[in-house]
Amino acid sequence: MAAAQDSYLKLLSNPLARELAGRLKLPRPAVLRRYRPGDPLLPGPVLVLGAGDSAGTLASALLDWGLDVRRHATPGERIGGIVAVLDDVAEPGDLAAPALALGACLRQLAPGGRIVTVSRPAAASAGAAAAPAAAAARQGVDGLLRSVARELRAGATGNGILLDDGVDATAPGVLGALRFLLSGRSAYVDGQFLLVGPGTGTVPADPDRPVAGRAAVVTGAARGIGAAIAEVLRRDGALVTVVDVPAAGEQLAAVANRIGATALQLDITRPEAGARILEHAAGRHGRLDIVVHNAGITRDKLLANMDADRWNAVLEVNLAAQLRMNEAFLASDLLGPAPRIVCLASTSGIAGNRGQTNYAASKAGVIGMVRASAPVLAGRGGAINAVAPGFIETDMTARMPPAAREAARRLLPSLQQGGLPVDVAEAVAFLASDAADGINGQTLRVCGQSLVGA
Amino acid sequence: MTATPESPTPKSAPQPAPAAETRPVRSAVVIGGNRIPFARAHGAYAGASNQDMLTAALDGLVARFGLQDERIGEVAAGAVLKHSRDFNLTREAVLGSALSPETPVYDLQQACATGLETVIGLANKIKLGQIDSAIAGGVDSTSDAPIAVSEGLRSVLLELGRARSPKQKLAALARLRPKDLAPEAPSTAEPRTGLSMGEHQALTTAAWKITREAQDELALASHANLAAAYGRGFFDDLITPYRGLVKDGNLRPDTSLEKLAKLQPVFGKTLGEEATMTAGNSTPLTDGASAVLLGSEDFARRNDLPMLARVVDAEAAAVDFVHGKEGLLMAPAYAVPRLLERNGLRLSDFDFVEIHEAFAGTVLCHLAAWESEEFCRNKLGLDSPLGSVDRARLNVTGSSLAAGHPFAATGGRIVATVAKLLHEQAAAEGRRGRGLVSVCAAGGQGVAAILEAC
């Protein structure tokens, strides 16, 4: 699907080239463990570390999934994933034991293995702040996880789940997030935290088809990331409508026919765009359950050379159109009972990027819009979140200057490679499903733990 | 078409049809349409065959309505300029499309009325309960036109095939003359008169004393109306781009009466009167394809598909142009009154009148004929003129002068357009409007049809 290609990564599939790269101290990126339906969740047993009650209940929950669960590492045995339950740290001294226990078994982590910490945020989204010592210990998990993630090799990743006030370690949303982070669906998510708040308690009936029967719309779906999102949602059971500008209709039709979706040619900046999408989804599927605002454009220029047309076009497509459409969706009774909206942000909107003031402003705006819209969606039993891709191999990044592209791929992310459109799509599909129960108003980076925006 | 199993709205199974003799005639509705933008000959589609273009039109329709792998009741389409290898053109296009390969198909040819006649024939089958769904279409390429060997060469080659001895073979070859080696390209000349279609229309235009100005005004209106329809997104769900062409290649949004007035006449230069027909008020040779999705109301409801308009009735006519009794392209002038009489309607009962613009003169001659007491009395046997067509209802989103005219594809373009216009009007004004479609064809033929909003 990705038209763009990482030829260095391809070269390293040759063992000789791989060894040579090692001797020359060149980066040796791994082929990431990506989700394929039917594959086991992990490439080996899962080790649950932690002394508190939560570790025990979480281990039982994982047993219920049919996983091979260990509470202690067996020396020399490959481990598929490590769940470090740290929700009970109360002062900085509490970090030593679990950190060292984690360290002791790191070398046993299989290629494509996973580390997931489960802890509490230093400051909950509402309510009283934690005591300074507790906040320090909790915030310490952040540094611990982000650093251990940088030490992992062979496509292994480390991510964290933060339990908001009143959320326990086996809440449906926590288990949903844990399954996502352990699975191949999170291949290019690295060094990130997901905050799980109180949700509705809904879980997907079938974890392999978490959006079965949901009516979904994906904008900007004629190619690249949008096409991948549509394909993954369809694979996961959704009834998909793909949207793109009429000029991209030929590619859009090809995507629709390849994955089994309906094509809607529509310029999302038209004032009636929201109504047209509602009319189409409701006409074909009775309602609209999932919206993925993926359509976006770049018109890069240094700010000193920026003109109004470039600025306005980017802000209009990437931000204003989303705001207008959301307004139309939320005002309509055709929106399903638990609507989920996922917006595409960008690491440029978090860290900034030279030559992209307009794009970064629009994408940062998306992050703000998502945060502010969360309570409205929660009130309807739904959620709105964003995904911020880092360097993804697409036609868009294929046009970058070669040196900048190679740096973005190789030097900046822990995983030493760019992501694929499907990596973003998996994160979007997760946030579009009930598996993400209780996750609302957040922005999840899919960047291979790039320094940019880290 | 089968219901999607995971659809949120349960769909009922098709009703078992009663035996043929007790089956009531039911409605056939236009569900939607799709065409590729029409390209000027030897332009964007110079490298595309009829099969390529028809497949593209079908695939766009499949994508729009999510018909992937569906078995449609029957598909009928055709081309006017057809290679001998394309004896199963439509079947081959369906096999190359995203439709189920179990979809039965037939080819049809009625010159420029091919597209409209496929709609009528298939609608009739739906009305009789023989099929539940259908796709009507048409395609033509003047860029990829078949070029035949001369009759002399053909005769020699056939004899050569029959020859057994070397002597017989030599005898066959000895009949070959240099002039036999010149290829024969198809032309729009009528076999029985040797006159091109344009020269025929020039005779009729002159006979009805249609002025150059009136023809240019009609051409200008066609371009202006087509451009305005594009501007409001009217074609977003009627056209799918193809081979980089996004809009009809012949459209000149910035043309003017002044520009049109500067063009030199191309037809009727030997009539002894002032020639009035130019490249601006005649349709250019064009490449393109169109498809219309038809179904019973039950089929549309069962599959959550829109119902735009009913195909009410149709009438074909033919005139004796060979002996000069009538103009070559005037047959619809006879078909329409017969159709109106059978349905108890007047011209003023139609909200939209679509008269195919083979030439501006063709349309204007028809309007003049229906307003002429003499014509209506002597030729149609009516007591009074048939009436006038309100110009504000004529070809309101442009017609062939602006869009171009790939012969067999024009009927599908018009039917989908008028069905959408009727549907839009019904939604806006809450009333069931009527549309009249009239298409002239080579050989002195013409076909007319009535559509009514659902």
Mean pLDDT throughout B408-431? Answer: 97
Is A222 an 8 Å CB contact of chain B? no
> What pLDDT is stored for residue B13 in this prediction?
63
- CA distance readout (Å), A252 to A264, A266, A393, A421, B55: 8, 11, 19, 16, 15
**Segment A238-269, tens digit of pLDDT:** 999 999 999 999 999 999 999 999 999 999 99
Which of B60, B236, B305 is closest, CB to CB, to A253?
B60
Per-residue confidence band for B396, with pLDDT thresholds at 50, 70 and 90: very high
CB atoms within 10 A of CB B345: 16
Using the Cβ of B2 and the Cβ atoms of chain A, whether some distance falls under 8 Å is answered with: no
Q: Does the beta carbon of B246 lie under 8 angstroms from any beta carbon of chain A? A: yes
Which residue of chain A is at minimal alpha-carbon distance from B306? Answer: A283
Q: How confident is the model at residue B3, as a pLDDT?
A: 42
Greater model confidence, A273 or B146: A273
What is the spatial order of strands in the sheet that A239-244 belongs to? A262-265, A239-244, A215-219, A288-293, A335-344, A383-389, A443-446
Low pLDDT (below 70) residues in chain A: 1-5, 127-128, 410-411, 452-454
Q: DSSP string covering B334-361, please?
A: HHHHHHHHHHT--GGG-SEEEE--SBHH
What global pTM score does this model have? 0.90
Token duo for residue B337: 């009154």
Nearest to B322 by CA among B442, B407, B202: B442
Of B66, B236, B241, the CB nearest to A284: B66
pLDDT at B16: 65
Dihedral over Cα of B353, B358, B361, B366: its sign: negative
A279 touches chain B (CB under 8 A): no
Residue A445, beta-bridge partner list: A388
- In this prediction, residues B69-78 reach a mean pLDDT of 97
| Cβ-based contacts of A261 with chain B (< 8 Å) | 63, 66
CB A195 within 8 A of CB A167: no
**CA end-to-end span of chain B, whole Å?**
21
Q: What percent of chain B has pLDDT over 70?
A: 95
Cβ separation A285–B233 shorter than 8 A? no
For A416, the token pair is 């030493």
| CA–CA distance, A257 with B98 (Å, rounded to integer) | 6
d(CA A274, nearest CA chain B) in Å: 14
Distance, in Å, from the CA atom of A59 to the CA atom of A67, rounded to the nearest integer, reads 9
Q: Which helix (H) or strand (E) holds A48?
A: strand A46-49
**B235–A215: do the CB atoms touch at under 8 Å?**
no
pLDDT of residue B9: 45
C-alpha A292, offset from chain centre? 13
- Cα nearest neighbour of B5 on chain A: A213
What's residue A280's pLDDT? 95
Residues 74-133 of B with CB under 8 A from A: 98
Give me the residue from B68, B237, B242 closest to A260, CB to CB: B68
Structure-token pair, residue A61? 């929950």
pLDDT at position B14: 66
The candidate with the shortest Cα–Cα distance to A225, out of A255, A203, A199, is A255
Domain ranges of chain A: 46-196, 215-446
DSSP secondary-structure letter at B438?
Answer: E
Chain B residue with Cα closest to A234: B6
Residues of B in contact with A239 (CB under 8 A): 4, 6-8
Pick the CATH number of A215-446 from 3.40.50.20, 3.90.960.10, 2.60.34.30, 3.40.50.720: 3.40.50.720
Tell me what pLDDT residue B162 has: 87
Residues of A annotated catalytic, as ranges:
359
Task: Enumerate the β-bridge partners of residue A161.
Answer: A118, A194
* B168-201 per-position pLDDT tens digit: 888 888 888 888 777 776 666 888 888 889 999 9
Residue B442 banded pLDDT, cuts 50, 70, 90: very high
Contact B8 A237 (CB under 8 A): no
Size of interface A-B (CB pairs under 8 A): 88
Amino acid identity, residue B395? N
CATH 3.40.50.720 fits A46-196, yes or no: yes
pLDDT grade, residue B2 (50/70/90)?
very low
The neighbour count for residue A429, using CB atoms within 10 Å, is 33
What's the DSSP call for residue B278?
Answer: E
Residue in A212, A253, A286 nearest the CB of B6:
A212
B233 touches chain A (CB under 8 A): yes
> Do the domains spanning A46-196 and A215-446 agree at the CATH topology level?
yes
pLDDT at B161 over 80: yes
How many CA within 13 A on the CB side of residue B133? 22
The 10s digit of each residue's pLDDT in A122-141 is: 987 776 678 899 999 999 99
Mutate to test the interface with B, among A262, A264, A265, A285 (most CBs of B within 10 A): A265
The per-residue pLDDT for B5 is 43
Interchain CB contact of A250 with B (< 8 Å): yes
Judged against a pLDDT cut of 70, whether residue B258 lies above it is answered with yes
Q: Does A132 touch chain B (CB under 8 A)?
A: no
Half-sphere exposure of A26 (CA within 13 A, CB side): 16
Q: Which residues pair with A244 in a beta bridge?
A: A265
All residues of chain A having their beta carbon less than 8 Å from the beta carbon of residue B4 are 239
A260 touches chain B (CB under 8 A): yes
| Angle, helix A321-330 to helix A357-379, in steps of 10 degrees | 10
B83 part of the active site: no
Is B55 a residue whose pLDDT tops 60? yes
At residue B269, the 3 state secondary structure works out as coil
Q: Give the model's pLDDT for residue A2.
A: 42
Q: How many CA atoms lie within 13 A of B95 on its CB side?
A: 7
Q: How far apart are CA B260 and CA B237, in angstroms?
A: 31
| Secondary structure (DSSP) of B101-133 | TT--EEE--BTBTHHHHHHHHHHHHHHTTS-SE
Which of the four pLDDT bands, split at 50, 70 and 90, describes residue B98? very high
Residue scoring higher pLDDT (B160 or B40):
B40
Q: Which residues does residue A435 pair with via DSSP β-bridges, in sequence order? A: none
Q: Which among A247, A263, A284 is the nearest to B246, CB-wise?
A: A247
| Inter-chain touch A263–B63, beta carbons under 8 Å | yes
A3 burial level (CB within 10 Å; 0-12, 13-18, 19+): exposed
Note the residue count of chain A: 454
What tokens were used for B444? 């002195």
Q: How far, in Å, CA of A416 to CA of A419, rounded?
A: 10
pLDDT of residue A210: 95
